[in-house]
Every structure is written in structure tokens, then in C-alpha cells.
Amino acid sequence: MTERREWSIAVHGGSGSMPKERLAGREQAFHDALGRAVTLGAEMLRGGASSLDTVEAVVRLLEDDPLFNAGKGAVFTHEGTIELDAAIMEGKTLECGAVAGIRTVKNPVTLARRVMERTPHVFLAGDGAEAFAREVGVDIVDPSYFRTQERWEELQRELRRESTNAVSLPTPEMGTVGAVALDREGNLAAATSTGGRTNKRFGRIGDVPVIGAGTYANNRTCAVSATGKGEEMIRHFAAANVSARIEHGGRSLAQAVGEVVREVLAPGDGGLIAVGPDGVAVLEFNTEGMFRGAADSSGRFETGIR
């Protein structure tokens, strides 16, 4: 039997195809960014922080990094705007919060936590979520804060393809950041944040803020954060699917994650990070790569891309 870890943290920064132009000369930058996120989580958990505080802080760090499609590095919609989604959940009580269609909140994951803690609701969207953000005093920024030249150029390429009906490869699915953690008290938590998909239209919302699809935590089973094709994660209830296989099917965490990634989802759909009550973390994907990292009290510390 595997010895229980006192604490554990796993992070991801999106999964999908790995275009050479996106990674050229920057692989070390991605490793460094993931390493900073893992280090922050490890230091907090080692010092006795709760898993909930930890996943929020780690996702905030990733939201502030323009390398990733969340917060500062978010992709553009068809109309040239930014729309952000996030969710957070803690495993002890199953309390959770989610927001979608956010345009002015610097760190959507923190707003999701405010929804969880300061309202009787789970999910707020659009103008109502923005109004709530102003009411509870989270950091508000001008929408121009989120603009990066790289993401703007990605949108222009997509628009040109549309206008010429050009045949092209699908837009890379690297649209999420997330964290899962186990703390010293034995509590699990998960948080996920995203800018969605380049050139998305009609207020499209993916799996990230859908509790059970992109984000889930339950002390009895696991904490999970998903990344990849949001529609497929929703259709297959990917995050909660892992939990159900453990609770009702007697699977180990590794078995449950493996079954969902390899048998339920189709090749190229994405990946999952998960941690169980024993602190064992599993990071698995069926795409070309997944930006990821993990650490625990046994001495594990790693980051990976491909």
C-alpha cells in the first residue's frame, strides 16, 4: 500500500497540440513558470495552508502569467473581446463557486471563491457576475489589461482562415490553467481558470466553470482539474466521472483517471490532473502534450510539457 503523503500539489497550464512556433525558444520559460506555481503550492502546503487557499493562490499566479490562456494571457473572442471563466471547489463540504463571461476581473478564480463563500449560489455569469465583483471588492482592471500581442495575432489568423474558407488544423486546445491539492488536514481542493477558445462566439462557455466537468473535489475520492476540449469534458462529465469510478467502481485514482482519459475521452480531447486522499497525484493526457507539474511531501518535484 502506498504511504500517505502529508500534502500534495499538481498543476496544469493547458493541453493539446504543441505548435513549434508557440514553443520555439520558450520551453524553459514554460518549465520555469510551472515550477514557480508548483513551488508556491508546495511552500504553502508545507507551511500548513489549506488546500483551498493553495489552489486559489496557485491559479492566481498562473492567471497573472501571459504564457497561459487564463487571466492576463487569455485568448480573444470573435468580436475581439476577452471572456474569462473560473471555478473552485473544496472537498470537505463540496462547497463550490463558478463564474463565466467575466471581462474586468483580474483574477476570476478569486471571484469564483467569493461566489462560493458570500452567496447562496454556485454559478454567476456575465453582467451579474461583474456587478457582484464590484460589490465584493475584488481587483477590477480595464479590459485592455488582458490584451497580449500574441493572442491578438492568433485571432487575426483565425479570422483570415474564416474569410478565405481555408482548410486548416484545429485551433490548439491549450486553454486552461488549474491546480489540485491535498493539505495536512486531509482536505482536497481544485481550481480551474480559462480564457476559453480563440475566436469563440455567442458567449460560448466550456467545461471549466461547470462543476463536475472541468472542476471537482470530494474528500472521499479525489480533486480533479481538466484541460482540453471543453465540450467533450462536459459531455462526459470528466472530473466527476473520475470520482464516481473511485466511489462506486472501486477503482484506484490512477485507474479512474486512466479510464476517463484513454477510454471515455477520444484521442486528442485533453488531459486531467488529480490528487487523492492519500496525496498521490496523477497527471494524464491523450494529446501531444500538457503543461504540468507536481510536488508532494515525499520529495516529488517535477514539471513537464510533452
Q: Which of 176, 192, 227, 303 is catalytic?
A: 176
Looking at residue 161, what is its pLDDT? 85
Looking at residue 168, what is its pLDDT? 47
**Is residue 3 one of the residues assigned to a domain?**
no
Do the Cβ atoms of 115 and 133 come closer than 8 Å?
Answer: no
**Is residue 159 one of the residues assigned to a domain?**
yes
Looking at residue 93, what is its pLDDT? 98
Longest dimension (CA), the chain: 58
Looking at residue 306, what is its pLDDT? 87
Looking at residue 147, what is its pLDDT? 93
**Is residue 1 one of the residues assigned to a domain?**
no
**Long-range pairs for 20-23: beta carbons < 8 A, 24 or more residues apart:** 22/172, 22/174, 23/305
Give the 3-state DSSP-derived string for 61-115, with helices as H, strands as E and coil as C. Answer: HHHCCCCCCCHHHCCCECCCCCCEEEEEEECCCCCEEEEEEECCECCHHHHHHHH
The domain of 120 spans 8-304
Looking at residue 75, what is its pLDDT? 94
Backbone torsion region of residue 107, taken as left when φ is above 0, otherwise alpha when ψ lies between -120 and 50, otherwise beta? beta
Based on DSSP, count helices (H) and strands (E) in the chain, helices before strands: 9, 12
Grid coordinates given for 186:
486531509
- pLDDT tens string, the chain, 306 residues long: the values are 568 999 999 999 999 877 766 677 889 999 999 999 999 999 999 999 999 999 999 999 999 999 999 999 999 999 999 999 999 999 999 999 999 999 999 999 999 999 999 999 999 999 999 999 999 999 999 999 999 998 999 899 889 988 887 544 445 445 799 999 999 999 999 999 999 999 999 999 999 999 999 999 999 999 999 999 999 999 999 999 999 999 999 999 999 999 999 999 999 999 999 999 999 999 999 999 999 999 999 999 999 998
C-beta atoms surrounding 64 within 10 Å: 14
Do the Cβ atoms of 54 and 189 come closer than 8 Å?
Answer: yes
* One-letter amino acid for residue 142 of the chain: D
Residue with cell 474528500: 219
Grid coordinates given for 77:
473572442
Beta bridge partners of 84: 102
Look at the chain and report how many structural domains it folds into.
Answer: 1
Do the Cβ atoms of 274 and 221 come closer than 8 Å?
Answer: no
**Is residue 16 one of the residues assigned to a domain?**
yes
**Residue 32, CA distances (Å) to 28, 36, 252 in order:** 6, 6, 31
287 catalytic per annotation = no
Terminal Cα distance for the chain, rounded: 30
**Is residue 33 one of the residues assigned to a domain?**
yes
**Residue 126, CA distances (Å) to 101, 105, 190, 230 in order:** 5, 11, 23, 19
Grid coordinates given for 19:
505548435
* One-letter amino acid for residue 94 of the chain: L
**Is residue 2 one of the residues assigned to a domain?**
no
CATH number at residue 91: 3.60.20.30
